Chain A
Amino acid sequence: MNDQSEGVMEKVWNIFSSMKTGVFLLGVVAVVSGIGTLIPQEALDPKGAQSVSAIWKTLGFTHLYATIWFRLVLGLLCVNLIVCSVQRFSGIYRKTFKPNPPQSSKAIPQKIQAKISGPESELRAAVMKVLTGKGYRLTTSEQEGRWSFIAQKRRWGNWGSLLTHLAFVVLILGALVGSMIGFKGYFMAGVGDTLPIKQIEVSKGNVNENFSMKINSAEDRKLANGERDNWYTDMSIIESGKEVARQTLSVNHPFTYQGVTFYQANFAQGGKFTVDLKGQKIPVVLQDQGGNYFQVPGTDLYLFLSAMKADPKAPVVLYQVYQGNSPIKMGQMSLGQADNIDNTFTLTFDGMAGYTGLQVKKDPGVNVVWLGCALLMLGLILSFYWRPHTLSGIIETKKESSLLLGAVRGRLAVGTQEEFNQAVTDVEGLITAGSAGS
C-alpha cells in the first residue's frame, strides 16, 4: 500500500514538474482571459453583465477573473512552477558553482568541436590566456596524462529562467493577498467636510481603520491656455480630534497614510450654504447635480443642489427642497442671497466649493506584486541579455599532443559557433606565434 501511494505521489510530482503541464496551464489562462474580453464582466460593465443569461452568470462567466476556477488554474500554475524550480535547483546550482571539467574526450560537446595541435604546455598557456582574456572563468583538473578544463562566461545567466518562474509565483501570491485582505472604497466630500473612514462606500473588503478625513480644499485648476491642469485636494487625517497628517493630492499623485492610499479620481462643483434654523447656523456643502443632500435636523425636509452656473465671479445656484418624497420648493439664488423656506429655516448661498471624489484603497499585497515584477525583470534580463557560454577542453597526452575543444550549444547555435570559432582562431594564433618564435 505504501508502494502504491508512493507511486501515486510520484505520478503527481511528475505531472507538476512537467513543462508540458505548465504550457497547458498557461494556454488555459490565455483562453479564459480571452473569453472574458468577449463577455461583459460585472467589474467593468455591470449593465452589460446584467443582460447575460442567468445560466452563464451562475457558471461565473460574468466575473470570470474572480471565479474559484480561474484562481484554481493560477494556483496550479504556481504549484507547477514551484515543483519545477525545486527539481531544477540543484542542477543549476552545480552547473553554475561546481562545474565539472571533462573526464574524457567523450565528455566534450560534439556539435561544436575543434582540435588544435601543439606542445602541451603551450596549448595550456594559450587556451588559459585567450579564455580569461575573453572573460571566462576556468576550472581545471589535472591527472595522470590528462589535463582538462571547463570555462564559463556570464554564469549567472543560468539562473534566469528559475528566477523568472519564482518571480511569477511571488507576483501571483501578492495579487492573491491583495484580493483577500485589504479594502477598496470611494467617497465624495465637499470642502470643510470631515468624514470617518468607516463611513466610505466600500466595494470590497472591510475597513478596520479608525481615523477621519478632512477636506481642506478642493480645486479644479486650469492652465493659462484654458486646458485642465489637474484636480487638487488638500486633505488632513484626523485621529482622536488631532490632525496627524496633511497633504495635497492630485490625479497620478496619490497620498498614503498607514497603508491606506487616497487617489484623486473625480471632481465636481458644489455650493457652500448656511442653513439658519431658528438662530442655529449650520454650514452645508452640496454637490452640483444633486450628488448629495442635507436633511434639516428635526424635520423631514431635504435640501438638494440641482444645478449651478460655476462662474467664479457670479455663481448662480438652483436648489430644491423635498418633504419626504415630494418636492415642495425650488429656487434660484445668486451669491450672498438668502431665501426663507417653509417658514422653518433660511438658506444663504455663500459661494462655490469644490467637491472631490477620492478612491480609497488598502492593498497590503501591492508591494509583493512590485517585488515579483522586479524579480521577473531581473530573471528575464538574465535569461535573454546575459546568456551564459560554456566551453570545455581536454589534452590527453597519452594519445597525442593536441587540445580537443568544444562548446555547449545553448539556445543560439549560430552565435555560439561564431564565438567558439573566434576563440579557436585566437588560440591557434598564439600557438603558431609561439612556435614561430622558438
Chain B
Amino acid sequence: MNETLNNIEVAMFYLMIIAYLLSTVMYWLTLVSKKVWLEHLATGITILGLAGNTVALIVRTIIAQRPPLSNGYEFILTFCWGIVAVYLFAEFRYKIKALGSFVMPLPFLLLTFIIMKMGPEERVASAIPPALKSQWLTFHVITAMLAYGAFAISFGLGVMYLLKSRSDDENGKSNAKGWISRFPASQILDELAYKIIGFAFPLLTLCIITGAIWANYAWGTYWSWDPKETWSLITWIIYAAYLHVRLMYGWKGKKAAWMEVFGFLAVLFTFFGVNYLLPGLHSYA
C-alpha cells in the first residue's frame, strides 16, 4: 500500500513540476499574443498543478501519519502550494492575468531546486523527533505558507510595477507600448501590492508568534536568536519599514516596488540562505 502511495506521490511531483513549467510558458505567451484561449489554458494548467500539489501533500500526510511539514522537501511543497493558491485567488479576484508570468516561475524554480539539490534521503517521509510533534508547528507552517505565498505575489506585482512605470509620464499616464501596455495601471499594481502585504504581514507576525509558542513548549525558550528566527525577524522589520515609509515619505510607486522585491528576497534568504549559507541551529527546516 505504501508502495502505491509512494508512486502516486512521485507522479504528482512530476505532474506539478511539468504543470508549473507549462503554465509559466503559457503565461509568457499570453504577454505577446492576445488569444483568450491561451489565457484560459494557462489558468487551467495552473489549477491542474495546484491539484497535483494538493494530492502530493495529502498522500505525504497519509504516508507519514502527520502533517507534511517536517523537512525541507515538505516545506518546499507547502511553500509552492501557498504561492499558487494565493496567486489563483489574486487572479480570480483582481483579474490580472499578466501576473502569472512573474509568479509562476517561482514554484517551478523551487521544485527544480528539489531535483537539483536534494537527494532521495532528504525527501523521504522520515520519523520526526518528539520536539516536532506539536499542534503549534502546524499553525506555524500554515501561516508561513500563506504569508510567504502572498509575499511572492507582491514580488510579482513589484516587478510588474517597475516594468510598467518606466513608460509613465509625469502625470502617471502610461505611454507603454506592446505587451506592457496590457498591464493594469501602475497605481493599481502599487495599491494591490500594498493590500497583499497588508494581508500577509499579520500572518507573518502570527507565524513568528506560533513559532515562539512552540519553542517555549518544546525547549522552554520562546526566542533564542537562532539564525532562522533572527532572519524571520529581519524580514518582518523590512515589511514593517515598507508599511511605514509608505506613510511617512509617501513611498509609493518605484521605491515601494523595490522594497516589495527586496522583502521577498529576504523571505527566500530566511527560507534557503539560512540553511545553506549560514551556520545554524534550526536544523529541522
Please list the residues of chain A having a beta carbon within 8 angstroms of any beta carbon in chain B: 19-20, 22-23, 26-27, 29-30, 33-34, 36-38, 40-41, 43-45, 48, 65, 175, 184, 227-231, 250-254, 261, 263-265, 359-361, 366, 369-370, 373, 376-377, 380-381, 383-385, 411-415
Contact of A44 among B131, B214, B225, B246 (CB under 8 A): B225
Instruction: Judge whether B199 and A33 touch: CB under 8 Å.
Output: no
Chain A residues, Cβ within 8 Å of B246: 411
A360's closest neighbor in chain B, by CB? B220
Instruction: Judge whether A265 and B219 touch: CB under 8 Å.
Output: yes
B248's closest neighbor in chain A, by CB? A19
Instruction: Judge whether A263 and B222 touch: CB under 8 Å.
Output: no
Q: What CA separation (Å) do A370 and B212 show in the bound complex?
A: 10
Instruction: Judge whether A38 and B278 touch: CB under 8 Å.
Output: yes
Q: What CA separation (Å) do A317 and B280 show in the bound complex?
A: 36
Instruction: Judge whether B220 and A359 touch: CB under 8 Å.
Output: yes
B109 within 8 A of A: no
- Quick one: given A251-B218, A366-B216, are A380 and B202 in contact (CB under 8 Å)? yes
Chain B residues, Cβ within 8 Å of A359: 219-220
Instruction: Judge whether A43 and B130 touch: CB under 8 Å.
Output: no
Contact of B219 among A65, A250, A263 (CB under 8 A): A263
Contact of A26 among B191, B237, B247, B280 (CB under 8 A): B237
Please list the residues of chain B having a beta carbon within 8 angstroms of any beta carbon in chain A: 127, 129-131, 133-134, 187-188, 191, 194-195, 198-199, 201-202, 205-206, 209, 212-214, 216-227, 230-231, 233-234, 237-238, 240-241, 244-248, 274, 278-281
Q: What CA separation (Å) do A250 and B217 show in the bound complex?
A: 10
Instruction: Judge whether A415 and B191 touch: CB under 8 Å.
Output: yes
Q: What CA separation (Å) do A30 and B234 show in the bound complex?
A: 5
Q: What CA separation (Å) do A259 and B277 show in the bound complex?
A: 39
Chain A residues, Cβ within 8 Å of B233: 30, 33
| Max count, chain A CB within 10 A of own CB: residue among B130, B234, B240 | B130
Q: What CA separation (Å) do A23 and B219 show in the bound complex?
A: 33
Q: What CA separation (Å) do A93 and B238 show in the bound complex?
A: 29
B197's closest neighbor in chain A, by CB? A384
B274's closest neighbor in chain A, by CB? A37
B210's closest neighbor in chain A, by CB? A373
Instruction: Judge whether A65 and B225 touch: CB under 8 Å.
Output: yes
Instruction: Judge whether B220 and A45 touch: CB under 8 Å.
Output: no
Instruction: Judge whether A19 and B247 touch: CB under 8 Å.
Output: yes
Closest-CB distance, A121 to chain B (whole angstroms)? 38
Chain B residues, Cβ within 8 Å of A381: 202
Given contacts A30-B241, A33-B233, 8 further A-B contacts (CB under 8 A): A23-B241, A29-B237, A37-B231, A37-B274, A40-B279, A252-B214, A373-B212, A411-B194
Chain A residues, Cβ within 8 Å of B225: 33, 36, 41, 43-44, 65
A-B contact pairs, 7 of them (CB 8 A): A44-B224, A251-B133, A252-B130, A264-B130, A380-B201, A381-B202, A415-B195
Instruction: Judge whether B202 and A385 touch: CB under 8 Å.
Output: yes
Chain B residues, Cβ within 8 Å of A19: 244, 247-248
Contact of A384 among B131, B201, B227, B231 (CB under 8 A): B201
Q: What CA separation (Å) do A380 and B130 show in the bound complex?
A: 33
Q: What CA separation (Å) do A33 and B217 show in the bound complex?
A: 24
Instruction: Judge whether B231 and A23 touch: CB under 8 Å.
Output: no
Instruction: Judge whether B227 and A37 touch: CB under 8 Å.
Output: yes
Instruction: Judge whether A230 and B237 touch: CB under 8 Å.
Output: no
Chain B residues, Cβ within 8 Å of A383: 198, 202
Contact of A263 among B195, B220, B234 (CB under 8 A): B220
Instruction: Judge whether B201 and A33 touch: CB under 8 Å.
Output: no
Instruction: Judge whether A26 and B240 touch: CB under 8 Å.
Output: yes
Closest-CB distance, B108 to chain A (whole angstroms)? 29
Chain A residues, Cβ within 8 Å of B133: 230, 251-252
The 9 closest A-B pairs by CB, nearest first: A251-B130, A380-B202, A384-B198, A227-B127, A37-B227, A263-B220, A30-B237, A361-B220, A230-B130
Closest-CB distance, B283 to chain A (whole angstroms)? 12
Chain A residues, Cβ within 8 Å of B222: 366, 369
Chain A residues, Cβ within 8 Å of B227: 37
Chain B residues, Cβ within 8 Å of A366: 216, 222
